[in-house]
Structure 1
Amino acid sequence: MDNVLLVTIDSLRADHVGYHGYERDTTPNIDRLASEGSRFMNAFAHGGSTMFSFPGILTGVTPLMYGGHDRVSDSQTVVSEVFDDAGYQTGGFHSNLYVSGQFGYDRGWDAFYDSAPDQGMLASARKWAKTNLQETPVYSLLQWGYDKLESEGGINVGSYHVPADEMTDRAIEWLESTDDDRPTFLWVHYMDVHHPFLPPEEYQRHFRDDVVSDTDSIKLRRKFIEEPDAVTDEEYQRFIDLYDAEIRFNDAEVGRLVDAAEREWGDDYVMAMTADHGDHFLDHGYFGGANALDLKIHVPLFVSGWDDDGEYDELVGLTDLPSTLVDAVGLDVPRNFYGESLRKLVFDGEWDRDAVFGGWTSDDGDNHFVREEEWKLIRRPDGSAELYDLVDDPKERTNLVDDDPSEVRRLQKRIDEHLELVRATADDDVERPDMNEDVKERLRRLGYSE
């Protein structure tokens, strides 16, 4: 095969995907595509949010290497650059600002759409107030009113992301304009499964008798963020219904995108699909955050278009994905990709990975984790830790850090060994971009701490 299609879906939990055993029919197209390829049932992100996961997906490194969680270092290689150097036509389409050109992900693309939708009137007014009134008492009052409109009025006060159908339209339009005589690499990232959930009515009706209005959905989302202890069982189920409806909507768009790819390429392509992370939904007592519990880092991953339709339980990290895509079409894997090609597992029966390492930066400093098949250790900046027995406690309810000090020491050593690689690749020149207020506000409205 010559052509490559990479599909990523934001915030898609593995346990809400049909081929992972979910009882609801959320992913009929994805399930069909996965059944035609290699399904990696124990795939894990190296961080529990977009900015900490995508260094692995697109540059083959864990999030604290190269300073990659702040901005892509000049010493990193974006997977698009590999295809571009090999003569591919390259197109990337997404609307998550943490993967935008400001963060260095725009390298190696012939076409790169990272979304700049028109602001609504309220968002434009807020931008003017930020510029002209920030040092006055009026600004605090306006900020309060801005949040109040969303929390109590359910008014969508800004553009969060580009909807899946528009993203598919953009990708297909570009795909149909490409040169048939040159191979193509296309990446599309969908944001609809990330809150706020505003799925079209037809997809809500797969899971509900009544339709939740955009107004009520936005108000409910604010309650999950601001008053999680007050969320009722009925509200929780409504939120899950909306989440599943967004998955079903994204699934339909994945199907439409693949149909277009097959019109252009026939069967001459390899496809991979994954998610950057999952979501908590108040499990463990909180809604968001970049934590490393399996609810956040266990993601779906399949590769199709090569001669295999098997299911694999070996431990896989998302750093393995860019190496796999490059290797699948016979290109050389860059030396600064730190993952392994999954072809080794699928076609050679060889796989040495027994752990996934990762981390994230919080206000207190760097957090680190190691996830093995049976054990996980999460280490906090203050030296505290969480140890989970994933065999007896797969939902990670009981912290055994005080009960098994020998296991803690063993896993601490593994994290320290990984940090030697992190330090060896340190790039002191990487600085986080100076984001303008439009970017900051969109990130805040998506629940990110910008």
Structure 2
Amino acid sequence: MKIILVSLDTLRASRLSSYGYSKPTSPHIDRIAREGVLFEQAYAADIPTEVAHTGVFTGKIGLTTGVVSHGSDLTQLPKSVAWLPQLLRTAGFTTGAVDNLYQLKEWFARGFQYYINSVGGNRWIDGSTVNKLAMPWIEQHKDESFFLFLHYWDAHTPYLPPESYIPEFYDTSKDPYDPRNKSMEPAYNHSAYPFFKHHHYDLVGNVTDSDYYDALYDAEIRYLDDRLKELDDHLAALGIQEETLLVLFGDHGESLTEHDIYWDHCGLYEPTVNVPVIMRWPGRMPQGRRAQGLVQQVDLLPTLLEAIRREAPSGIDLSKLSEPGGLDGRSLWDAIEAKAEGTHETVFLSECAWQAARGIRTDRYKFIRTYDAGPFTRPPRELYDLTVDPAETMNLASAEPELADAFERELENWVARKLGDRIDPMRIQLEERGLPFRRRIEQILAGAGMTWDEWKSNPDRARFDEATSKHTRSK
């Protein structure tokens, strides 16, 4: 038995053709979905990258593990917490990864006999690099029962797809650098600009057309899709495609200017928390199944453990694969086999990086409680009826205060139950360190001789660029 778990970093579900997008971003992903099972309402309970992947590998949400923030030096994951690669290795699987999350936290390398760190000279990682490292490993271990984790970053900023991929998604008669186009001004004069200037905008160039950034994101997805086809073709050439359980998931999505978020993954809105989850296991899973109920990333761990117990591969000690205690995830097998549509009536959401907020997603409503808005302007409470307002543009919190109150009580009671006698790790983060990404902006501003309060009260790209230039010249 082979299991390949594929993280498609920053991949927004609604930007895939198989999730209803009109442009041809994902022909091979669409094929995998037709050959397997697609979950239409899969959610990242914790965002962004660090907390999302911790949930996938533990089957537990952030309030259970204590890992609620991204890039925080306060975060630790005890070695006593069950970890999927370690469970599988102990049971007899050969475990490997092509990944660089070890650069964030040491626990991401736990349990892997072969951890191939994909980090290179650039801060981004091309999918072709992942394939060049993964495909020889697969060939070397094709006769073994293995678990392989692959982490593709192509859809993450900075969007730098090969130029040949761009024309399919951007009108070539337009000039993305036309100074008469002012659609980028809201992004360039946003409070988060100092961070994205270095990590994104300077790398792409002085773009003036916001549609061009959207096209670059689409082109990155299309490029990623081709890399997944290369991987899948390799499995077929080796003769192991039929016995491989292939799982694709997004760790979080991406906001493309919605809600004052410019090509980034914060906010508990649908573009960021609704992620793709697609599985294919020939002969063991139905083809073309589209499960419509609410599911979470943390459901993947118990699903994989059940798949192994069902298959009972030779050489694997199934007694080592009983479910760990205290899981928040539930096996997806009933939804896979159409005995149910989902695993949860309610999904609780959380973030603590750019902003600190928690939320509730039901089949109809989204409620968001913001504790620290960071570089954004947010009301303390947001309530959306997604059946009539899927874009989350009409905040009903004031118009329907009793419903908002009920959701807030539900959220508070859930947090209290999860914590027991522990202190809320989000509270600890905010009181002892503050928001990690606000701290990064503060450090950048300090280098330009500016304070956070001064900048947020009047963010202006030209003013920051000039201050940065003067500071550089003075050195």
**Matching residue of 1:392:** 388
Distance 1:171 1:225 in 2: 37
The SS at the match of 1:104 is helix
1:273 equivalent in alignment to 2:248: yes
Deviation at 1:227, TM superposition (A): 3.0
Distance 1:214 1:169 in 2: 33
Q: Does the CA-based 8 Å contact 2:332-2:343 persist in structure 1?
A: no
User: What one-letter code is carried by the residue in structure 2 that aligns with 1:295?
Assistant: P
Distance 2:54 2:422 in 1: 14
Equivalent in 230, 241, 266 of residue 290 of structure 1: 266
Equivalent in 247, 250, 275 of residue 299 of structure 1: 275
User: What one-letter code is carried by the residue in structure 1 that aligns with 2:62?
Assistant: P
Higher relative contact order (CA 8 A, sep 6+): 1
**Matching residue of 1:192:** 154
Distance 1:415 1:237 in 2: 37
Q: Does the CA-based 8 Å contact 1:198-1:214 persist in structure 2?
A: no
Deviation at 1:276, TM superposition (A): 0.9
Summarize deviations over 1:78-97 as a string: whole Å, max 9, x none: 211121111101111123x4
Q: TM-score, normalised by structure 1?
A: 0.77
Equivalent in 173, 185, 210 of residue 236 of structure 1: 210
Shifted more, 222-231 versus 15-24: the winner is 222-231
Aligned pairs for 1:228-377 (under 5 A) are 235-262=209-236, 263=238, 265-287=240-262, 288=264, 290-305=266-281, 306-309=284-287, 310-330=289-309, 331-347=321-337, 349-350=339-340, 351-362=342-353, 366-377=356-367
Distance 2:389 2:425 in 1: 42
User: What one-letter code is carried by the residue in structure 2 that aligns with 1:111?
Assistant: Y
The SS at the match of 1:207 is coil
User: What one-letter code is carried by the residue in structure 1 that aligns with 2:149?
Assistant: W
**Matching residue of 1:83:** 88
Aligned pairs for 1:64-79 (under 5 A) are 64-69=63-68, 70-79=75-84
Aligned pairs for 1:74-223 (under 5 A) are 74-95=79-100, 97=101, 100=103, 102-118=105-121, 159-178=122-141, 180=143, 182-208=144-170, 210=172
Deviation at 1:178, TM superposition (A): 1.8
Distance 1:319 1:110 in 2: 23
**Matching residue of 1:12:** 11
Deviation at 1:56, TM superposition (A): 2.1
User: What one-letter code is carried by the residue in structure 1 that aligns with 2:162?
Assistant: P
Distance 1:50 1:213 in 2: 34
User: What one-letter code is carried by the residue in structure 2 that aligns with 1:369?
Assistant: G
Relative to 1, partners in 2 of residues 1:245 and 1:211: Cα closer, same or farther, differing over 3 Å? farther
Question: How large is the Cα RMSD of the aligned pairs?
Answer: 3.5
Deviation at 1:205, TM superposition (A): 3.5
User: What one-letter code is carried by the residue in structure 2 that aligns with 1:311?
Assistant: R
Deviation at 1:429, TM superposition (A): 11
User: What one-letter code is carried by the residue in structure 1 that aligns with 2:346?
Assistant: A
Aligned residues: 388
Q: Does the CA-based 8 Å contact 2:294-2:346 persist in structure 1?
A: yes
Q: Does the CA-based 8 Å contact 1:90-1:108 persist in structure 2?
A: yes
Deviation at 1:304, TM superposition (A): 1.0
Relative to 1, partners in 2 of residues 1:67 and 1:226: Cα closer, same or farther, differing over 3 Å? farther
Deviation at 1:224, TM superposition (A): 7.4
Q: Does the CA-based 8 Å contact 2:176-2:207 persist in structure 1?
A: no
Q: Does the CA-based 8 Å contact 1:8-1:273 persist in structure 2?
A: yes
Q: TM-score, normalised by structure 2?
A: 0.73
**Matching residue of 2:313:** none
Deviation at 1:30, TM superposition (A): 0.5
Shifted more, 63-72 versus 238-247: the winner is 63-72
Deviation at 1:234, TM superposition (A): 6.7
Distance 2:139 2:146 in 1: 11
Relative to 1, partners in 2 of residues 1:375 and 1:307: Cα closer, same or farther, differing over 3 Å? same
The SS at the match of 2:135 is helix
Summarize deviations over 1:355-404 as a string: whole Å, max 9, x none: 1112122578x521111010111112269211111112111111111121
The SS at the match of 2:294 is strand
The SS at the match of 1:387 is strand
Q: Does the CA-based 8 Å contact 1:228-1:282 persist in structure 2?
A: no
The SS at the match of 1:413 is helix
Q: Does the CA-based 8 Å contact 1:78-1:105 persist in structure 2?
A: no
Distance 2:169 2:424 in 1: 50
Distance 2:93 2:273 in 1: 31
Relative to 1, partners in 2 of residues 1:101 and 1:425: Cα closer, same or farther, differing over 3 Å? farther
Summarize deviations over 1:297-335 as a string: whole Å, max 9, x none: 011111110321211111111111122122112143322
Q: Does the CA-based 8 Å contact 1:14-1:298 persist in structure 2?
A: yes
Q: Does the CA-based 8 Å contact 2:6-2:149 persist in structure 1?
A: yes
Distance 2:402 2:135 in 1: 54
Percent of aligned positions that are identical: 26
Relative to 1, partners in 2 of residues 1:269 and 1:226: Cα closer, same or farther, differing over 3 Å? same
- In structure 2, runs of 5+ residues without a counterpart are 69-74, 194-200, 310-320, 373-378, 430-436, 445-475
Shifted more, 104-113 versus 422-431: the winner is 422-431
Distance 1:25 1:429 in 2: 42
